[in-house]
Amino acid sequence: MIRRLTEKDHKACFHLLKKKSAENLFIIGDIEVYGYSQEFQKVWGEFNQNGELIAVLLKYEENYIPFALGKFDARGFADIMLQDPTFNMMSGLKDITEKIEPFLKVEPKKKRQTYYAKCTKLQVKNEDRSDSVQKATIGDVYELVDMLNSVPEFSDSVITVDKKRRGIQDGTSRSFFIKEKEKIVATASTAAENTVSAMVVGVATLDNYKKKGYATMCMITLCTELLAEGKELCLFYDNPAAGNIYKRIGFEDIGFWMMYNY
């Protein structure tokens, strides 16, 4: 049986979602911030014959994110999406979304697959750590944004001072960096932080300062702080070479993250 979830279902919902905290970064974060009764956000759950919650479907604006640990009613989730005139996106773990995709009846206009990795424990040596890594404050935001916007890899991203400042202020983001000659040359940040998980983003080094291990040092400091708070870490990556760097410090692949545009 599939039905809308309410605050009364919160304990059961989070009991299921927290079994895979990193995998459910977005669902957990959105529910913590917006709850179950917003017009732009709705949450459905599937219950088995014993009344146990076995799957969750979150709608945030026009995007739907499904999650289940085992078998679930993929057709039922697809029907919910198809009945929504605002539906035009689905995202989630590939082994879940690929079960829903055939029931959506139309080919997506765009489909993107990225590697999805998580970290629950660091595997680093002492020489990988550095006392030169600094934690960003509001006063560093302008310089940090200028640096990120100068990196070619982020040319398609929308990185603004307001967004970066707001993330630091509301606790959904934090950044670490290394300076040389009073200039930020490498950095790593989080985004979409919630009470149990966070996503690593914005890992970058200026061209003239690469191959010194600076970005890795920033990541290690960032991850050490978050893991000490009991949070699981996750990240997306397209480049297997970059993935090898992440794996060296403790990230493990947990599958593929899919994004569909309809």
What does the pLDDT look like over 78-125, one tens digit per residue? Answer: 999 999 999 999 999 999 999 999 999 889 999 999 999 999 999 986
Single residue among 106, 141, 164 that ends a domain in this structure? 106
Is 209 inside any structural domain? Answer: yes
Residues 100 and 148 in one domain: no
Total domains in the fold of the chain: 2
CA distances from 248 to 53, 123, 126, 184, 242 (A): 36, 7, 14, 24, 10
Residues 93 and 176 in one domain: no
Residues 128 and 192 in one domain: yes
Portion of the chain with pLDDT greater than 70, in percent: 98
Residues 139 and 182 in one domain: yes
Single residue among 77, 106, 135 that ends a domain in this structure? 106
Q: What span, in angstroms and rounded, lies between the C-alpha atoms of 147 and 183?
A: 9
pLDDT tens column, 33-80: 999 999 999 999 999 999 999 999 999 999 999 999 999 999 999 999
Is 74 inside any structural domain? Answer: yes
Can you give the pTM of this predicted structure?
0.90
pLDDT over threshold 80, residue 156: yes
Residues 216 and 94 in one domain: no
- Per the structure, the complete domain to which residue 156 belongs is given by 118-256
Is 112 inside any structural domain? Answer: no
Residues 96 and 141 in one domain: no
Q: What span, in angstroms and rounded, lies between the C-alpha atoms of 202 and 176?
A: 10
Residues 99 and 123 in one domain: no
Among candidates 250, 232, 234, 222, which has minimal Cα distance to 129? 222
Residue 141: which CATH number?
Answer: 3.40.630.30
